[in-house]
Amino acid sequence: MGIAEFARDGRVVVGERPGAAVVAAVGGFLLLDLVAKLAGTTVFFVGTKLLGGSLTVSSLLSMVVDGLLVGLAVGLAGIGLSMTYSILDFANFAHGDTVTVGAFLGWVAAYITAGLGTGAPIAELFMLNSGRQLSTVSTLAPVLLGLVVAGVGSIGIVLLIDRLTYRPMRDTDNISLLIASIGVALALRYLIAFVFGTETSGVASGGLRVTVFSMISVTDNEITLLVVSVLLMLGVHLLLQRTKLGKAMRAMADNEDLARVTGIPTERVIRLTWILGGGLAGIGGYLLVLESGTISFNFGWILLLLIFAAVIVGGIGSIYGAMAGGILIGLVDSLALIWLPSGLTRASAFLVLIVVLLLRPSGIFGGVSTA
Amino acid sequence: MSTVDTIRGRLDALPDVGLVVGFIGAIWAVMLVLAIAVGGANWANLAAGFVGSVTVLIGGYAILALALNLQWGYTGLFNIGIAGFMAVGAYTTAILTAPTDPAAGAVPGLGLPLWVGLIGGMVMAAIVGGLAALPALRLKADYLAIVTVAFSEIIRLIVNWDGLAEVSLFGVPVGTGGATGISFKSANDVASTLINGVGQPLVTAAEGVGVSGPNLANLTYGILLLLVVAASYWVLARITDSPFGRVLKAIREDETVTQSLGKDTRLFKIKTFMIGCALMGLAGVLFRGQAGYISPQQFRPTITFYVFAALIIGGSGSNTGSIVGAATFSGLLFYLPARLGENISLGGTRAPGNIVDAVAGFASLDPAPLLAYIISNVSTLRFVLIGVVLIYIIQNQPDGLLGHRNEPATSVSLDRPQSGSGGETDE
């Protein structure tokens, strides 16, 4: 596998040390600065502000919670990207749009079931613009139904796309597959724009606000995101550890020909990879909309680079890495606000992506393919 | 296969210049026919507008596709940060040439002449490209892709950031204008001055047949862009035919072998990357900054993928193919569908506001609302078409229209002589 070779590449190892030192120094400085900010002190050096400032513990905590929630959904979506990257060996640029498709299918289902009987015209419900805001507490059944539809619907879509696009090109090089996925991404995104338009719709807002430890305030929708994504991640863990599928996937990621010779039905494993990855991507998108409240035709595409960051930080091919990478990138994206102006926080997540790719392309956990 | 092979055979028979001129001429003819069909008495002005806009698009995408072809087609560097390097070039030119005393609310610049700005933009894009390439080029192709796209987004976020909208640099106020963008003296102004000065008789003649001044200026600008394309083509042909170019092709075929022959492939790759980025920076200002105004919105990653579509249609590895691909993409896939959608009406059926109403009509066996909806949304659907074309080409014709002419790394042909029976010619 290419990643393993990379880790062993002598030049990379030599080049790694100065880079790692810089990263450690920057990290240490930021940590020191954070402590000073929390303590409310400012350190001056030759007349200029060196570090410190002020930051309340509660605003730090709310940033952590925000980052954690977004990170969980990104991690959930990242599992599929990581799996296709290691098993089919290509960077799937259509993954972000799979997230969007799943979210739209789920929300249309939730919106229509919640709106039935209220007399709202079906066109308004379908277009998600009747103005109604769903929440887990007030409309539990439609929200759960939407969750299932998002998963099942996106599975259907990715299987169709695999059949039409990727399956005829199983033996081609990974750049051709990457380009094909760019084509898929364009087609999917603008099909959604064709059906649902290009406006952003508000579809959800928290129905109930809970205060935990008298400091952290979360909504019912955010709790739903937390519970569902943790449960799903646990489910994926059990599925891969307790069934033969996980072993088969690891074998395929390692060496596809050898796996086939050993009698692993590679085509079936690929199908299961798409089912698992596509379903989780759709659900991840659905949950993100539940948390953020708005949906638009290109939100998954915008999210894609963040998902890539999560997958690469966690190590391509590692499912636990994708989960951990997602949370880490979510936290970076949210906590960067402490040090950076709001327009540049997203850039920090991309910077982390670039730094990890340059210094440690196998991911921060060392690139163990846990499948 | 066979139809494509026939087309290919005919394309091969033409000399390159004839091929490109013929292609662009054919697209112009299509625009002319469309203008005559829908324009009525005003057809001449409409035709000038269509042809002018499509020529600008062809010129812009051709420069970008040529630059990408140098990086990817010749050297195998998979750069999907094109938008970012375009932004660097365009913003540098804009900051250098924006007036020092701008209109109220606009950002001041350094007020330098345009040619200084263009050179500055190219140099800066090359420098930034070199800085990006220095660490990134040792990565695998797909990692390089992700790094470059992330890099281009970082550039866009930085120029979008209001903290740099207006800053004082050594006491001189300059800035990017943040999300609102920046106005500067554009190359288009030069073209307008040219056409309204020296070309005054031409303007009078054109107005005689009903072509408006702005449309004529736009057309002139498009033709100027095509001249830039020709110049870029000439430079790139010189580069790729040189010993330097042979090394690039060798890197694409097998980097290890090239290294073992004593070539410092890293240096070659960085140089190539920088030349390509300089050209992308130039295209950034000439194409996106045509109207003398740029904003971060114009440098979203999607434009990168359009350039890829153009190059893949034309066939990566061939400079002529890059231009033909850019013409096909921008003329037939990008521009034509939008104009068709605008100008076709379905005898009185108004397009429904959303797809539910459109499909509802279909249920009562009336396809007109759905058709009207499709036509009114053609500018969205053309991107679906572009995606599908991209998938089709990569599956069935990965060489594009002309990519089979991918120049080999050797200076003499290694092809076996054609055998009479023609059994196994296909690789």
Q: What is the pTM of this model?
A: 0.87
B380 and A353: CB-CB below 8 Å?
no
Least CB–CB distance from A350: residue in B145, B154, B388: B154
Instruction: Extract the tokens encoding A258.
Output: 């050898």
Cα distances (angstroms) measured from residue B40 to each of A332, B37, B46, B338: 59, 7, 9, 19
For residues B269 and B77, the answer to whether their CB atoms sit within 8 Å is yes
Residue B417 scores a pLDDT above 70: no
Residue A10, pLDDT > 60, answer no
What's the pLDDT tens digit per position in A217-257? 788 888 888 899 999 999 988 888 888 888 888 778 777 78
Q: What is the domain class of A68-315 according to CATH?
A: mainly alpha
Nearest to A179 among B163, B308, B388 (CB): B308
Which residues touch B327 (CB under 8 Å, ≥6 apart)?
B20, B23, B24, B27, B58, B62
pLDDT greater than 80 at residue B389: yes
Residue A183: its H or E element? helix A174-196
Question: Around Cβ B40, how many Cβ atoms within 10 Å?
Answer: 9
Q: Contacts of residue B389 in chain A, CB cutoff 8 Å?
A: 183
B301: buried, middle or exposed (CB in 10 Å: 19+, 13-18, 0-12)? buried
pLDDT digits (tens, 9 = 90+) for A168-209: 888 888 888 999 999 999 999 999 999 888 888 888 777 777
Question: Shortest CA distance to A253 belongs to which of A79, A369, A173?
Answer: A369
Q: What percent of chain B lies above the pLDDT cut of 90?
A: 26
Put simply, whether A143 touches B (Cβ < 8 Å) is no
The shortest C-alpha distance from B108 to chain A (Å) reads 22
Domain assignments of chain A as residue spans, ordered by start = 68-315
- Phi, psi torsion values for A250, nearest 5 degrees: -60, -45
Residues 66-95 of A with CB under 8 A from B: 90-91
**Residue B208: is its pLDDT beyond 90?**
no
- How near does any CA of chain A get to the CA of B157, in Å? 6
Tracing tokens 């789920």 back to the chain, one arrives at A106
Proportion of chain A in helix, strand, coil states, percent, rounded to 5: 70, 5, 20
Q: How far is A123 from chain B (nearest CA, A)?
A: 5
Collapse the DSSP code of B15 into the 3-class scheme (helix H, G, I; strand E, B; otherwise coil) and give the result: coil
pLDDT (tens digit per residue) in A254-295: 777 888 888 888 888 889 889 999 999 999 999 999 988 889
Task: Kindly report, residue by residue over A25-36, the tens digit of the pLDDT.
Answer: 888 888 888 877
- Kindly compute the dihedral angle of the four CA atoms of residues B309, B310, B314, B315, in this order, to the nearest 10 degrees: -50
The Cα–Cα gap between A212 and B138 comes to 48
Question: Which residue is associated with the tokens 């940590």?
Answer: A31
Chain B contact for A46, CB < 8 A?
no
Option in A6, A178, A180 nearest B142 (CB): A178
Residues 353-392 of B with CB under 8 A from A: 354-357, 360, 377, 380-381, 383-384, 386-391
Written as six digits, the tokens of A176 are 């051709």
Q: Write the DSSP symbol of residue B254.
A: -
Q: What is the rounded average pLDDT of the residues A118-122?
A: 74
* Predicted pLDDT at B427: 44
Structure tokens at A285: 């998108």
Angle of the B243-253 helix axis to the B213-241 helix axis, nearest 10: 80
**A327-331, A354-358, B234-238: segment of lowest average pLDDT:** A354-358
Neighbours of A136 (CB within 10 A): 24
- Nearest C-alpha in A relative to B395: A169
Query: How many whole angstroms separate alpha carbon A166 and alpha carbon A79?
Result: 19
Place B422 in a pLDDT band, splitting at 50, 70 and 90: very low
Touching B: A residues 195-214, CB under 8 Å: 195-198
Q: What percent of chain B has pLDDT over 70?
A: 88
Within 8 A by CB and 6+ apart from A289, the residues are A103, A107, A203, A204, A295, A299
User: How far away is chain A from the Cα of B346, in angstroms, using its nearest Cα?
Assistant: 19
Q: What angle do CA A5, A7, A10 make, to 5 degrees?
A: 90
The whole-number pLDDT of residue A1 equals: 45
Least reliable range by pLDDT among A200-204, A366-370, B309-313, B326-330? A366-370
A261 to chain B, closest Cα gap in Å: 27
Q: Does the complex come out with an ipTM higher than 0.95?
A: no
Query: CA angle at residue B250 from B248 to B253, to 5 degrees?
Result: 115
Q: Which residues contact A112 (CB under 8 A, 6 or more apart)?
A: A122, A125, A126
Tell me which residue in B142, B147, B354 faces A123 most closely, judged by beta carbons.
B354
Tally the C-alpha atoms within 13 A of residue A103's C-alpha that lie toward its C-beta.
36
- Whether A15 has a pLDDT exceeding 90, the answer reads no
- Quickly name the fold that domain B2-343+377-405 has: ABC transporter involved in vitamin B12 uptake, BtuC (1.10.3470)
Q: Give the residue-averaged pLDDT of B144-153.
A: 89
The residue ranking higher by pLDDT, B74 or A190, is: A190
Whether A127 sits inside 8 A of B135 (CB atoms) is no
The CA distance from A307 to A353, in Å, is 10
CB pair distance less than 8 Å for A175 and B142: yes
Q: Are A64 and A111 in contact (CB under 8 A)?
A: no
Q: Is the pLDDT of residue A308 over 50?
A: yes
DSSP for residue A134 = B
Q: Least CA distance to B140: which residue of chain A?
A: A2
How much is the pLDDT for B164? 79
Contact B398 A195 (CB under 8 A): no
B380 interaction partners in chain A (CB closer than 8 Å): 190, 193-194, 198
Asked if the C-beta of B427 comes within 8 angstroms of chain A's C-beta atoms, the answer is: no
* A134: alpha, beta or left? (left if phi > 0; alpha if psi -120 to 50): beta
Name the region of B93 (left: φ>0; alpha: ψ -120 to 50; beta: rest). alpha
pLDDT band, residue A93 (cuts 50/70/90):
very high
Instruction: Write down how long chain B is.
Output: 427
Give the mutation candidate from A165, A182, A316 for the B interface (greatest B CB count, under 10 A): A182
Q: From the CA of B168, how many Å to the nearest CA of chain A?
A: 19
The answer to whether A325 touches A121, Cβ cutoff 8 Å, is no
Q: Is the pLDDT of residue B425 over 50?
A: no
